[in-house]
């Protein structure tokens, strides 16, 4: 008889998988990008080394900053640790806490994390940090409706906006993946991921050019463990978005159908393998396009919004 993993442990493994693997996925993408550019590049494990170095450093706060500046990274990390409880990270069946929220709820939790980081950036009084926070909220005003329209498409397809239900619908038939509405919604979500993770053509995601800083500018004044939490949280957010795209929309296979030890172990390996493949695609996109000028980014995000709207109309009027 196959040994079973207790359900609470499986739920904890979902969070730990995202927490532990997130920097590694970022390291793989950075390594692939470097190879595509003809460079040797950093080690895959370099993000873990960077986080360890930051956690050993002293924390400094700008003069005049309140407790909000230091509390925001902790709140953001708490948000990023909550979302893996709501989405199918390892299992095909919903875990007990998976009913706490739907895709909209998970989106609100991610938005709350972004809001906390933006508030902390504004708290510093630094022009660069405030600029990054302002730009993030400006473009977020467009990306968040995109996510809502993607959710509408999910609700029309499955009759519910629970991520487990959509994944089950996609697994039920390969025809579900090639439905026009489904493809449009998945494409819109991919564009949102490029925007939210600071990838070209939206941002250089590691650059410090004041004309293009968005994601990097928000953490400009943080240091030490708090900067480590922000960078770790950014990597977790990337892996969470990858997981939603893969395990809910385009490739919900490899998930554990039971709580067996072997099934859960294979589910972890399958998730990491799929995320690495998606990371290769992201790296190719990152190195194939030039960065857009700042005022053109709204057009890029508007294209994602248009795809999401077309997904709803295709499904509602054309049977998509």
pLDDT digit string, tens, across residues 36-92: 888 887 888 899 999 999 999 888 877 777 888 888 889 999 999 998 888 888 888
CA atoms within 13 A on the CB side of 284: 6
Whole-number pLDDT of residue 108: 80
Whole-number pLDDT of residue 287: 78
What average pLDDT does the segment 283-301 reach? 76
CA dist., res. 33 & res. 230, Å (int): 22
Would you list the domain boundaries of the chain? 51-256+291-318
Q: With 70 as the cut, is the pLDDT of residue 202 above it?
A: no
pLDDT classification of 315: cutoffs 50, 70, 90: confident
CA dist., res. 247 & res. 249, Å (int): 6
Whole-number pLDDT of residue 206: 56
pLDDT classification of 311: cutoffs 50, 70, 90: confident
Whole-number pLDDT of residue 78: 92
Taking a C-beta distance cutoff of 8 angstroms, is the pair 226, 59 a contact? yes
Closest by CA to 261, choosing from 92, 12, 88, 10, is 10
Please provide residue 91's backbone torsions phi and psi, each rounded to the nearest 5 degrees.
Answer: -120, 155
Higher pLDDT, residue 239 or 165: 239
Has this prediction a pTM greater than 0.75? yes
pLDDT classification of 217: cutoffs 50, 70, 90: low
Q: With 70 as the cut, is the pLDDT of residue 210 above it?
A: no
Whole-number pLDDT of residue 215: 67
Whole-number pLDDT of residue 269: 92
3-state secondary structure the chain: CCCECCHHHHHHHHHHHHHHHHHHHHHHHHHHHHHHCCCCCCCCCHHHHHHHHHHCCCCCCCCCCCHHHHHHHHHHHHHHHHHHHCCCCCECCCCHHHHCCCHHHHHHHHHHHHHHHHHHHHHHCCHHHHHHHHHHHHHHHHHHHHHHHHHHHHHHHHCCCCHHHHHHHHHHCHHHCCCHHHHHHHHHHHHHHHHHCCCCCCCCCCCCCCCCCCHHHHCCCCCHHHHHHHHHHHHHHHHHHHHHHHHHHHCCCCCECCCEHHHHHHHHHHHHHHHHHHHHHHHHHHHHCCCCCHHHHHHHHHHHHHHHHHHHHHHHHHCC
Place of tokens 């480590």: 228
Q: Which of 70-74, 98-102, 256-260, 285-289 has the lowest mean pLDDT?
A: 98-102
Q: With 80 as the cut, is the pLDDT of residue 105 above it?
A: no
Taking a C-beta distance cutoff of 8 angstroms, is the pair 249, 154 a contact? no
Residues 245-266: pLDDT tens digits? 888 888 888 888 888 888 888 9
- Token couple for 203: 């941002």
Taking a C-beta distance cutoff of 8 angstroms, is the pair 271, 247 a contact? yes
Whole-number pLDDT of residue 207: 52
Please provide residue 259's backbone torsions phi and psi, each rounded to the nearest 5 degrees.
Answer: -95, 20
Residue 213 CB-density burial (10 A; 0-12 exposed, 13-18 middle, 19+ buried): buried
What average pLDDT does the segment 147-169 reach? 74
**Contacts of 106 by beta carbon, 8 Å cutoff, 6+ apart:** 83, 86, 87, 163, 244
**Contacts of 283 by beta carbon, 8 Å cutoff, 6+ apart:** 29, 32, 33, 36
Query: What percent of the chain is predicted at pLDDT more than 70?
Result: 88
Q: What is the mean pLDDT of the chain?
A: 80
What average pLDDT does the segment 119-128 reach? 77
Residues 128-154: pLDDT tens digits? 777 777 777 777 777 777 777 777 777
């Amino acid at each position: 008889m196959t040994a079973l993993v207790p359900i609470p442990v499986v739920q904890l493994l979902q969070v730990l998988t995202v927490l532990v693997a997130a920097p590694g996925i970022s390291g793989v993408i950075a390594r692939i990008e470097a190879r595509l550019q003809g460079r040797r590049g950093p080690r895959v494990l370099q993000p873990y080394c960077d986080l360890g170095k930051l956690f050993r450093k002293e924390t400094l706060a700008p003069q005049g900053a309140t407790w909000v500046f230091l509390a925001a990274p902790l709140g953001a990390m708490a948000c990023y640790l909550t979302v893996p409880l709501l989405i199918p990270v390892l299992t095909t069946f919903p875990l007990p806490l998976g009913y706490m929220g739907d895709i909209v709820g998970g989106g609100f939790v991610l938005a709350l994390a972004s809001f906390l980081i933006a508030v902390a950036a504004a708290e510093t009084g630094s022009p660069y940090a405030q600029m990054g926070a302002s730009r993030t909220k400006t473009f977020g005003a467009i990306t968040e409706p995109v996510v809502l329209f993607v959710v509408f498409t999910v609700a029309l397809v499955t009759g519910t906006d629970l991520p487990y239900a959509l994944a089950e619908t996609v697994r039920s038939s390969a025809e579900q993946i090639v439905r026009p509405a489904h493809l449009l919604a998945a494409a819109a979500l991919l564009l949102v991921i490029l925007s939210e993770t600071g990838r070209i053509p939206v941002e250089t995601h590691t650059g410090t050019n004041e004309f293009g800083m968005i994601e990097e500018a928000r953490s400009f004044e943080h240091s030490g463990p708090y900067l480590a939490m922000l960078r770790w949280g950014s990597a977790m957010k990337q892996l969470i978005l990858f997981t939603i795209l893969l395990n809910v929309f385009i490739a919900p296979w490899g998930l554990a159908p039971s709580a067996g030890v072997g099934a859960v172990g294979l589910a972890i390996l399958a998730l990491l393998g799929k995320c690495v493949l998606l990371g290769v695609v992201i790296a190719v996109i990152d190195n194939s396009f030039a960065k857009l000028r700042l005022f053109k980014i709204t057009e890029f995000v508007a294209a994602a919004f248009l795809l999401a709207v077309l997904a709803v109309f295709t499904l509602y009027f054309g049977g998509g």
